[in-house]
Amino acid sequence: MIPKNIFLVLNKLHVSSLIYQLSNLFSLKSRKDELPLRPKQVLADLDSPVISSPNGNMCDELHPGLSVVVPAYNVENYIIDCLQSITSQSIDVPIEIIVVDDGSTDKTGELIDDFAVKHSCISVIHQKNRGLSGARNAGLAVAQREYVAFVDSDDVLPRNALQSLLDAFDPDQYDYISGLWSSMSGNGANIKLAETTRTHGAPWGRIYKRQIWDDISFPEGLWFEDSVQEYCVATRYREQLLARSVYNRRQRSTSITHIATKNYKSLDSYWIVEEMLQWCKQLHIPFNQHLYELTVRQFGPLLYWRTLLLNDDQRRALFACCCDLLASYKEFDEYAVQGSDAFMALEHSLRSRNYQLWERVCLLRKNADYSLSI
């Protein structure tokens, strides 16, 4: 197998095709990868899986307008900016803003209550901490408008964002509409204003028909719960795209994205995929080319760089679980990924249980996000 230092030099020279060919050549000569016999037990000892079902949030009677669900937990420095950005929207349909205080231990709950007194469109739910998914589900449970949007409590909406989405939305042809998003720093200063960043696996930056959530919910107890968007929404419903920024995403060092590499809960990167595939079965979602490629991609660099704290034995167990899960769904056997050499090498590593090749492929990209070229 190619030594890591040589491999990284080749990558910097942008010769992924050569890397793929050499990886295959060297993998034939390398020793058989040693993987643990009970890999799921190794992971469970570090981060126990949580089993749930796609229980929906059925609403018996919908009313015209838009529900905006805002989950909030310990965001006293940001919640007012968030709520002001929503209440200041110019919108020509009735709007209800449902703010869920998810057991905050700072002044978040007080600030929400004080703000709500001045805005009749805001309703507040105070509950014991259930996590981001539990807060969103609590908001969905009382949302009664025909459309619904989600805004995280440390983010803000640009002016006229909601109306722009509603004006562009064609409900006869599509089930939800998605815009672009921009990044901003913790203090609100814009970092990136180029309107070229598309929202992928997250519910914010979109407006949905409310009935989409009648038979699905956000998985509680797991990190990376936004995976429900790609596995259970994008696979079943028609998406319309709006080529303008409708969401400002705040970059914070305390967000799950930033702390995952230092916490064994990062293993939820694997558990959430296992959970979502089970949900797809229950919801009769086709196990097709799209779902196959989505799952293979989830087991690549994104997973690798989220779980940097694992030692070698633990990482091998994680890899073995990915291989086993992919192989367990015989519906995927007829498919093969299409795309870059790196993507095909990733698939080959998972199908052949070649840990060393998998590691090399993941080293191709250090930026664990959806800009991965595989």
The mean per-residue pLDDT over the stretch 248-275 comes to 79
Angle of helix 312-328 versus helix 341-352 axis, rounded to 10: 90
Are 78 and 208 within one domain?
A: yes
Q: How confident is the model at residue 257 (pLDDT cuts 50, 70, 90)?
A: low
Q: How many domains does the chain have?
A: 2
Chosen domain end from 252, 274, 292: 252
Are 183 and 316 within one domain?
A: no
**Taken in order 211, 160, 173, 337, is the CA torsion positive or negative?**
negative
Which has the minimum average pLDDT: 13-17, 182-186, 207-211?
A: 13-17
Are 276 and 217 within one domain?
A: no
Are 248 and 127 within one domain?
A: yes
Q: Is pLDDT above 90 for 335?
A: yes
Q: Which comes out higher in pLDDT, residue 192 or 67?
A: 67
Return the exposure string of 300-339: e unless at least 16 CB atoms fall within 10 Å of the residue's CB, then b: bbbbbbbbeebeeebbbbbbbbbbebbeeeeebeebebee
Res 23: pLDDT:
55
Are 30 and 114 within one domain?
A: no
Res 371: pLDDT:
41
The mean per-residue pLDDT over the stretch 160-175 comes to 98
Which of 197, 201, 162 has its CA nearest to residue 183? 197
**Which residue is listed with tokens 């919910």?**
217
Q: Is pLDDT above 90 for 363?
A: no
CATH code, domain carrying 89: 3.90.550.10
Chosen domain end from 195, 227, 252: 252
Res 77: pLDDT:
94
Are 107 and 143 within one domain?
A: yes
Which has the minimum average pLDDT: 58-67, 108-117, 267-276, 286-295?
A: 58-67
Are 229 and 91 within one domain?
A: yes
Are 293 and 246 within one domain?
A: no
Domain-located, residue 373: no
Res 58: pLDDT:
73
Domain-located, residue 57: no
Mapped onto helix, strand or coil, the DSSP state of residue 59 is: coil
The mean per-residue pLDDT over the stretch 348-355 comes to 96
d(CA 365, CA 10) in angstroms, rounded, equals 12
Res 14: pLDDT:
45
pTM for this prediction: 0.85
Are 320 and 177 within one domain?
A: no
Are 82 and 35 within one domain?
A: no
Domain range for 279: 4-49+259-362
CB 242 within 8 A of CB 194: no
The mean per-residue pLDDT over the stretch 320-340 comes to 96
pLDDT cut 70: percent of the chain above it = 82
Domain-located, residue 225: yes
Are 266 and 244 within one domain?
A: no
Residue type, 70: V
Which of 57, 52, 53, 59 has its CA nearest to residue 283? 53
d(CA 31, CA 341) in angstroms, rounded, equals 23
Res 55: pLDDT:
78
Res 200: pLDDT:
74
Q: Which comes out higher in pLDDT, residue 50 or 64?
A: 64
Q: How confident is the model at residue 309 (pLDDT cuts 50, 70, 90)?
A: very high
Q: Is pLDDT above 70 for 252?
A: no
pLDDT, mean over the chain: 87
Domain-located, residue 309: yes
**Taken in order 78, 83, 84, 88, is the CA torsion positive or negative?**
positive
Question: pLDDT for 268-289, tens place per residue?
Answer: 999 999 999 999 999 999 999 9
The mean per-residue pLDDT over the stretch 106-132 comes to 97
Q: Is pLDDT above 80 for 261?
A: no
Chosen domain end from 252, 286, 311: 252
Q: How confident is the model at residue 353 (pLDDT cuts 50, 70, 90)?
A: very high
Which of 17, 106, 98, 24 has its CA nearest to residue 65? 98
Which has the minimum average pLDDT: 41-50, 134-143, 291-300, 365-374?
A: 365-374
Res 208: pLDDT:
98
Q: Is pLDDT above 80 for 96?
A: yes
Which of 264, 252, 272, 147 has its CA nearest to residue 210? 147
Kindly report the three-state secondary structure assignment for every residue of 86-151.
HHCCCCCCCEEEEEEEECCCCCHHHHHHHHHHCCCCEEEEEECCCHHHHHHHHHHHHCCEEEEEEC
d(CA 271, CA 132) in angstroms, rounded, equals 17
Question: pLDDT for 71-86, tens place per residue?
Answer: 999 999 999 999 999 9
d(CA 179, CA 199) in angstroms, rounded, equals 7
Strands 145-150 and 206-209, how do they pair? antiparallel
Return the exposure string of 139-169: e unless at least 16 CB atoms fall within 10 Å of the residue's CB, then b: bbbebebbbbbbbbbbbbbbeebbbbbbebb
Q: Is pLDDT above 60 for 372?
A: no
Res 10: pLDDT:
46
Are 233 and 112 within one domain?
A: yes
Q: Which helix (H) or strand (E) holds 247?
A: strand 239-250
Question: pLDDT for 15-45, tens place per residue?
Answer: 455 455 545 544 544 445 688 889 999 999 9
